[in-house]
Amino acid sequence: MTLILQALTITPTAGTPLFAPLTLTIRPDTVTTLMGPSGVGKSTLLDAIGGHLAPGFRLSGQILLNGRDVTHLPAESRRIGLMFQDAALFPHLSVGDNLAFALPPSLKGRPARRAAVEDALTRAGLAGFYARDPATLSGGQRARAALMRTLLTRPEALLLDEPFARLDATLRADLRGFTFAHARAQSIPVLLVTHDEADALAANGPVIAL
């Protein structure tokens, strides 16, 4: 599994391109880190790759995932997972139902789906949290639940938009390890956007400055 960006540029409707054309190959089993000052367009680039580019931007170039051209696919068809700073758990669903939301429909039968969610919760250290209100979780718990939710969809690539930025230093290291371990276990390409040198160091992969 490989994520390839080919001569990608993003241009605001009225303005100049945010960055020079970007060509990049992100291999499975590696975490590629994207760094750069605020406002340079890192998050916008992630949005573009994930298929969430806001109106008012134009995209040129190509995005290839495992040989598929996903450049013009809607987000839901790309199979690219996306993680945000604030986890973005659905506030109206329980923690377990948040995860169930992500399960592919091909997994049939209520007991089987329930078991898959419980299993994921256990792996995230959240055993017994199925019925919990996401608003009552700690920051670390939320981030882990969100990651498990993303991984349950079996994405072919994972984009991380400063997912650890809101956590304190110890928690941050824990979660980083947890995230990278799970991503590697599924052997998918990971693109991490961060401000934090420590994140890049821990990612232990190519670092690109934008």
Partner 1 sequence: MTWRAQTQPSRPAPHGRILRRAVLWVVLLGLVLPILAGSFETLRAAFGLHPGIGATRFGLAPWQSLAALPGFVTALRLTLFTGIGSAVLALLLATGFCALMHGRVSTRQGDHMLTPILAVPHAAIAIGLAFLIAPSGWIARLIAPLAGWTIPPEIASVNDSYGLALLLGLIVKELPFLLLVILAALSQLPVNQQLSAGRALGYGRGIVWIKVIMPQVWPLIRLPVLVVQAYALSVVDMAVILGPSNPPTLAVAVTRWFANPDVQMILPASAGAVLIALLTLAATLLWLLAERVVRAIGLWWLRRGGRGLSMQPGLLLTAGLAAAALALGLLSLLALLIWSVTHRWSFPHPLPESWSWQTWHAASWAEAASYSLLLGCTTTLIATTLAIAWLEAEDRSASPRAGWATALIYLPLLLPQIAFLYGLNLLFLRIGLSGGLVAVIWGHSLFVFPYVMIALSDPWRALDPALIRSAASLGAGPNRRLFAVKLPVLLAPILTAAAIGFAVSIAQYLPTLFLGAGRIATLTTEAVTLSSSADRRIVGTYASLQAALPFAAYALALALPRLIFRNRRALLGGHA
CB nearer partner 1, residue 13 or residue 170: 13
| Minimum CB–partner distance for residue 19 and partner 1 (Å) | 15
Q: Please state the length of the chain.
A: 210
Residues whose CB falls within 8 Å of the CB of residue 117, separated by 6 or more in sequence, listed in order: 96, 99, 100, 103, 130, 152
Mutual angle of helices 110-123 and 139-152, in 10-degree steps: 130
Task: Decide: 174 and 166 in contact? Cβ < 8 Å.
Answer: no
Q: Residue 90 or 115: which CB sits closer to partner 1?
A: 90
Strand 3-12 with 157-161, pairing: unpaired
Q: Report the distance separating Cα 49 and Cα 8, nearest Å.
A: 10
Give residues in contact with partner 1 (CB under 8 A). 11, 47-48, 50-55, 57-60, 72, 74-82, 84, 86, 88, 90-92, 94, 101-102, 104, 133-136, 146, 149-150, 153, 155
Q: Which is nearer to partner 1, 101 or 114 (CB)?
A: 101
Least Å distance between CB 102 and partner 1?
A: 5
Shortest Å, Cβ 153 to partner 1 = 5
Nearest distance from residue 13's CB to partner 1, in Å? 9
